[in-house]
Structure 1
Amino acid sequence: MKNILKNAKVAVLATTLVAAPTIAFAADNPIRGNIRIVIGSKSTGGDTYQASSIIAEALAAKIDANVKVDAVGFSAGYQALARVPSGNTLMIFHDQAYLGNLYGKKGYEDPFKKWNVGPTFATNPGNAYLVSKSSPYKSMDEVLNAAGNGETIRVAIQPGGVSEIGFSAMKNAVRLAYPGKEDNIVALNTGSQSDKNQAMFDGLADVINGSVQANEQYTRLPADDQKAMSFVWLTAKASTVQDANPEGMGQTSRDQLMQYASGLGVKVPMDAENDFTFDKEFFFLYNKRMSKETVEFLDNALAEVFADGKVQETLKKSFFIPNFRKSAEAQEHLMAKRDSYAKIIQSLHK
């Protein structure tokens, strides 16, 4: 019995030593007080809020701090971030931060000059376009062909971001197949996800931008329900979707979602040889005056969060793909991505 107890104590001690973080985060934290994370969306039901909440909870546990996520939208988020250089206000956004600037939308300054780009932490392979289940269009081919044959297709988007680049790709695909008919793809400019959803509920939009995380629940409704939707396109590469859990999201498996992936089940041509694809990534933005010490602290804290392995499981349960990069690597990656999509946007608007 004594040997059993002794071995048990050794096992507990070993477990404690393995699980202990390499940095005393609570003691070394240069950020004093609560941390507010503002996000570039006003919706608490969209993918930005969901991804941000997952990483915020994991970060709070790692550094033993109170971390709150506020869905304030990009404009209010930028204003809040600009006011607080201490690290008590951080921001999480996605590719819209640089796409809005590329599209020349008001309020979108170059994020690589205005802010410090912090770590990436997740990709959403579920950036999606949907139609009502009562729609006469049952696939992206039918949507594009309808526009080519003279029908007006209203697409609910949030201007200047991942919504608009997919919308631009749709217009370009019509232009390639039906020159001169691309203006039949018409933008219905809305706000965050709840606004896009409402546009479909009200019959104002034929197609909306959404996400697997925010909209899968509506795809399970019966066809006679006003809120019932169907996926017609996931902009992510098929290889990105393939990295998701086989269970997929809700009651929709990964294999079921694969049929909507770019270049696999859905073809939205970008040119004569290539299909359009887009992987939506989430990352931190910091005030330019935030200290290098704080940037390094957050880099290391988030690295430890991902080293623990639990946050990856949580992200994948919500159909996100973990993709942690520290700040310097994230900035290099996102600037290269920005440059590649700058060329695509130029080609889409010729």
Structure 2
Amino acid sequence: MAEAGAGNWCLIESDPGVFSELIRGFGVTGVQVEEIYSLDEDSFAPLKPVLGLIFLFKIDANSDTKSEGTLVQDNRLDEMFFAKQVIQNACATQAIINLLMNAKQESLDLGDNLKTFKDFTKSFDPQTAGLAMSNQEQLREVHNSFARQQVFELEDNSGAKDEDLFHFVGYLPVNGRLYELDGLNEGPLDHGAIGEGADWLSKAREVLQKRIEKYSSSEIRFNLMAIIKDRRLKYEQEIEELKTKTSAQSSEENLIEMARLESLLEAENMKWKQYKVDNIRRRHNYIPLIVNVLQVLAEQGKLTEFYETAAKRTKELKKSETQSK
């Protein structure tokens, strides 16, 4: 089992349940994370208000897939929080923290730890803010608590680095302009004015679509998530408002809407419970169970039989895949 040591940050899974509980672990309340499967406007509408977007993509050194945003180097840096990434494997938390520190939403509560950290780093340049973040014990512990259990850690001495590298960045509006927060850059990237009365998500979709199109048509490994208002708070507030209306003037429409909202609230509560179960399973060490199962199969003389059956099925699957190509 590979374990994140002191000062190290582990890789974590790109998953809304992981990110939602990660944010809770930081002490932040009032928001959650939802996955977006399409850049169509209809995919964004049910999520509003959206505080920020988290985009995962492959770092491709062989093609011009870099962002076209303009590096911010003026006094706007004094009004924005930006921490440069100075440690490996922390880009998920880096993107989330950079977004949360700049997001504007009445439901968002950063919590004592991040509020103190934001005040402490107020006058820091991006490099120093990144160093300060890398030394934030609570952030590192919460981040590493989502490390996936590994049975073996193999050392590659061949010198070959064929494994694809993926990276998280954030997008959000600040003072009427769209910014990209990428910890690998020296500062925020400005993607231009949003336009008076325009929806910032429309501009963000255009920027993301243009960036995705820079990759070859065979590259489909992208992931997009949104930091949104906690839907439980949203539904609870709407239920309370409806209760006031219903008590003043009862109607069948209000009662139907009340039932709908209560159903949605229950679904959200169940989803959060499932997040906890899923994340417990991610953290759980299954190695003792696997070893015990193998021992029992060996004692019953079935281990060789199971192995041969599995090897045969694997061979058949590979043959089937080859024929279908």
TM-score by length of 1: 0.26
Greater RCO between the two (CA within 8 Å, min separation 6)? Answer: 2
More strand by share: 1
- TM score, norm. by length of structure 2: 0.27
